[in-house]
Amino acid sequence: MDLARNSIGLGQRPALILVDMINGFTDPSCPLGAECESVVEHNKLLLNAFRQAKLPIIYTTVVYNTSSQAKVFRAKINALNLLTPDSHWVKVDDRLKPLANEVLIEKRWASAFFATDLAQQLIALGADSLVVTGLTTSGCVRATVVDGLQHDYPVIVAKEAVGDRNQAAHEANLYDMHAKYADVMPCAQIVQNIQQRN
């Protein structure tokens, strides 16, 4: 039985966090990647809305500079070893390219918060809630959502702007995040919410 839950929604200054919308995950020719054209298009939609409203935007990528970083994670998922600093795979997909004033955080593990300065960046940007998008729903998106809640932010998962290699895992994790950790909301509703306050 599901717990009774309340919808908290967006604050006055939400930050958009694009989790790992990098070539290694958006390009199916990479062992880490999958077909996700619709996810990219919905991220573009949200980027446009956040940029027009002058709201904070943060990107993440995964980069391993040395063989000692995240050794257990990389031993479990060998394809992660492709994510080196000089690799095409660690660059944000050109269709979603960050602007000069937008933050790009390098991470080593699943959560965008773990062993990064994301928490400090959000405080500096004055964010009061989070909209999380990206890849993958069952992995880095979920880890970031849970840690967002644990940093005491209301978290929105942009439903069509997240994706997974496994559709069953995608659906199960959307269900679970909505039940306990976040509000799963259609992108159109997020955009409408942002446009109404400007």
Active-site option among 30, 36, 140, 187? 140
- Distance in angstroms (rounded) separating the CA atoms of residues 132 and 159: 9
β partners of residue 44: none
Q: Which of 136, 16, 21 is nearest to 90 (CA)?
A: 21
Q: Is 102 helix (H, G, I), strand (E, B) or coil?
A: coil
Tokens, residue 196? 């109404």
Active site (annotated) includes residue 140: yes
- Distance in angstroms (rounded) separating the CA atoms of residues 173 and 89: 25
DSSP 110: S
Q: Would you name the residues annotated as active-site residues?
A: 140
